[in-house]
Amino acid sequence: MANESNSRKAILVTPEICIGCRACQVACKSWNQLPASKTKNNGTYQNPPDLESNTFNIIRFAEVPSKETPVRWLFVSRRCMHCEDAGCVKICPSGALYKTAEGAVAYDRDKCIGCKLCSTGCPFDVPRYDKEGKVSKCHLCFDRIAANMTPSCVKTCPTGALKYGDRAELIAEAKKTGYTTIYGENDLKGLGSVYAFKEEPKLYGLKENPALPSSVAFWHSYLKPLSWIGLGGVVAAAAIHYLAIGPHKEEKEEV
């Protein structure tokens, strides 16, 4: 078991060997005590259609054209990417969203003020909000991994399409096994949910070149520091002015 406490952990998804059983969806609900939601059959096995406040991961079912078989079915696990450079953590005004030592992006529900700004910060449209308007998403089972346990969804996966462990080791192994493309190896300074492919990630419907939304990047690098630099600069300038030039004096001849 990987237990180098200082190194970054990750979940490695290998869609090629996923059989679409969705045990991971159930395991997540079970560990996190999340209820199922009633949905309608809309012609696909993908159910529910997308992440929900009570659904932290889903298997996306994609049908793509193929020469060998009449139809080719692809299964890919969609969940929070646990970005190293996480827009949601950057923008969260309450500090409810935070990073754990293992690199998980977890949250303190009590601290969340329900402002939904994290949805603006996320490049992957992950954060959802419960009935009280509080944030809700995959937290990489931060409670389990802190106790050296495997995330619930990974533990249940029968094929090894989900693996958990030391991030660098997982990636190195995947490459050795012949997976030429590691999605998320370097995007957003490295994702905590990495995907191993032999084909183009685009084929599986993964977002190409994910990056922080430019508005959030601009805000974080310029606007946010400018407010306190401005305040500090004025206070310093006022002090210098007071000492070097001094306050306004009433002079008799100034009538």
Partner 1 sequence: MAEMVRKSSVDEIVNHWVLAGSCILLALSGFAFLFHLDGVAGVFGGYNVMKDVHNWLGVIFALSLLYSMRHYLKDAFEYDADDLQWFKVAGGYLSHKVKVPPMGKYNPGQKLYYLAIVAAGIAITASGLGMWLMKDDATVLMYSHLIHNLAFVIFAIAVPVHIYLGTLANPGTFKLMVSGTLPLEEAKRRYPKWMKAAGRM
Token pair, residue 208, equals: 């190409």
Q: Kindly state the number of chain residues that form the binding site for ligand SF4, as judged by CB under 6 A.
A: 43
97 counts as binding ligand SF4 under rule CB under 6 A: yes
The distance of closest approach from Cβ of residue 63 to ligand HEM in the complex, given in angstroms and rounded to an integer, is 41
Among 58, 74, 126, 182, binds ligand SF4 (CB under 6 A): 126
Name the site residues for ligand HEM (rule: CB under 6 A).
93, 113, 115
The distance of closest approach from Cβ of residue 224 to ligand HEM in the complex, given in angstroms and rounded to an integer, is 7
The distance of closest approach from Cβ of residue 64 to ligand SF4 in the complex, given in angstroms and rounded to an integer, is 24
d(CA 113, CA 187): 29
Instruction: Please choose which of partner 1, ligand HEM, ligand SF4, none residue 120 contacts, taking the beta carbon within 5 to 8 angstroms, the exact cut-off set by kind.
Output: partner 1
Q: Which is nearer to partner 1, 1 or 244 (CB)?
A: 244
The distance of closest approach from Cβ of residue 120 to ligand HEM in the complex, given in angstroms and rounded to an integer, is 10
Token pair, residue 80, equals: 């929070």
Task: Return the SS3 of 11.
Answer: strand
d(CA 188, CA 133): 27
H or E element that contains 62: strand 58-64
184 counts as binding ligand SF4 under rule CB under 6 A: no
The distance of closest approach from Cβ of residue 123 to ligand SF4 in the complex, given in angstroms and rounded to an integer, is 6
Q: Which is nearer to ligand HEM, 70 or 93 (CB)?
A: 93
Say which DSSP state 17 is in. Answer: G
Token pair, residue 137, equals: 């998403």
The distance between the two most distant Cα atoms of the chain, rounded to a whole number of Å, is 99
The distance of closest approach from Cβ of residue 108 to ligand HEM in the complex, given in angstroms and rounded to an integer, is 16
Q: Which is nearer to ligand SF4, 26 or 175 (CB)?
A: 26
Within 65-84, which residues bind ligand SF4 (CB under 6 A)?
79-83
For 102, list phi and psi in degrees, rounded to 5.
-80, -5
d(CA 188, CA 85): 5
Residues 6+ apart with CB under 8 A from 79: 11, 51, 56, 57, 58, 126, 138, 153, 193
* Nearest residue to 28 via CA among 167, 153, 180: 153
Residues in contact with ligand SF4 by the rule CB under 6 A = 27-28, 31-32, 56-57, 79-83, 86-88, 91-94, 96-97, 105, 107, 112-118, 121-122, 124, 126-127, 135, 137-141, 151-153
